[in-house]
């Protein structure tokens, strides 16, 4: 039930090219309706790098109209990732800058090695984050601090990222260079025993509820809760509890 999507464009530090964005979009689209998928982990197969952001060498060759189209496509792809119905975890074992951090921000949970480097550095290039960074970063760490990081183009390490709430877990890097991935895998395994329908509906309730007032959010929760009542998962969960055994969910 755990799907691992690994970025592997080593010659370009996993920079987001038109082709890589297209491949990510295709992979995410394939996961949307796959009921066997329970959790998705985004990681890098390239040591020391998560994603260096947009491919600036490719962008330099684009016409201005092409740049706008590319940024729109990247933004849409990252939105598709954010809207996956199952939990998503970004395992940041290396550098995540610009679009790379925006990709991680679209995941539900972020885990990073203490040595990892993260930042929205677009203002150094006289542009702004264009794939969700100006919206997701303040929702994650607060408005004032998000402004500070974007205005300064500051890069933070894993320890500071944890202290400001940018990531949920920080781990010391290991010899293999995949400590964050291993922690992400452990988290994903914690999610596996839970009811699949409940997990999907819980994510929906949280995501929609965070964008509205509390009264409306509680109404959303009520509507989402109602979706779990008729499922076989719920019946199996209650039966397993009564029989003091692990439940055997089918995601129905």
Among residues 53, 100, 102, 184, the one annotated as catalytic is: 102
Which among 74, 106, 122, 132 is annotated as catalytic? 122
> Is residue 165 among the annotated active site residues?
no
CA dihedral 124, 138, 43, 19 (to 10 degrees): -60
Q: What is the pLDDT of residues 137-167, one digit of tens each?
A: 999 999 999 999 999 999 999 999 999 999 9
> Any catalytic annotation for residue 160?
no
Whether 99 is a known active-site residue: answer yes
pLDDT tens sequence across 97-151: 999 999 999 999 999 999 999 999 999 999 999 899 999 999 999 999 999 999 9
- Stated pTM of the model: 0.90
237 classed as catalytic: no
Give me the catalytic one of 53, 98, 99, 119: 99
Domain that holds residue 44: 2-192
63 located within any domain: yes
Q: Tell me the H-state helices in 156-245.
A: 158-163, 179-191, 196-209, 214-228, 232-243
Q: Structure tokens of 251?
A: 């995601």
Could you give the number of structural domains in the chain?
Answer: 2
Per residue in 201-245, pLDDT (tens digit) is: 999 999 999 999 999 999 999 999 988 887 777 777 778 877 888
User: Residue 22 — φ and ψ, nearest 5°?
Assistant: -65, -40
Would 203 be classed as within a structural domain? yes
Does residue 181 belong to any structural domain of this protein?
Answer: yes
How far is Cα 109 from Cα 201, in angstroms, rounded to an integer? 17
* CATH code for the domain of 233: 1.10.12.10
Question: The CATH number of the domain where 44 resides is what?
Answer: 3.90.226.10
Choose the catalytic residue: 15, 52, 54, 161: 54
In a domain, residue 174? The reply is yes
- Distance (Å, whole) CA 54 – CA 87: 25
Say yes or no: 227 and 121 in one domain.
Answer: no
């Amino acid at each position: 039930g755990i799907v691992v999507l690994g970025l592997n464009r080593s010659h370009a530090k996993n920079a987001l090219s038109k082709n890589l964005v297209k491949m990510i979009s295709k992979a995410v689209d394939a996961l949307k309706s796959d009921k066997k998928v329970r959790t998705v982990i985004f990681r890098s197969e390239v040591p020391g790098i998560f994603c260096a952001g947009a491919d600036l060498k490719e962008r330099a060759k684009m016409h201005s109209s092409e740049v706008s189209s590319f940024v729109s496509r990247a933004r849409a792809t990252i939105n598709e990732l954010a809207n996956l119905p199952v939990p998503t975890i970004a395992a940041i074992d290396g550098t995540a800058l610009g679009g790379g951090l925006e990709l991680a921000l679209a995941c539900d949970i972020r885990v990073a090695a203490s040595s990892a480097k993260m930042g929205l550095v677009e203002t150094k290039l006289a542009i702004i984050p264009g794939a969700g960074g100006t919206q997701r970063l303040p929702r994650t760490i607060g408005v004032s601090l998000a402004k500070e990081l974007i205005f300064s183009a500051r890069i933070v390490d894993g320890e500071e990222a944890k202290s400001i709430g940018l990531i949920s877990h920080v781990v010391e890097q290991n010899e293999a260079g995949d400590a964050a991935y291993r922690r992400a895998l452990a988290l994903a395994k914690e999610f596996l025993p839970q009811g699949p329908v409940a997990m999907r509906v819980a994510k929906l309730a949280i995501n929609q509820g965070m964008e509205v007032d509390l009264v409306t959010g509680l109404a959303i929760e009520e509507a989402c809760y109602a979706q779990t009542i008729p499922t076989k998962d719920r019946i199996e969960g209650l039966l397993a509890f009564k029989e003091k055994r692990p439940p055997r969910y089918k995601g129905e």
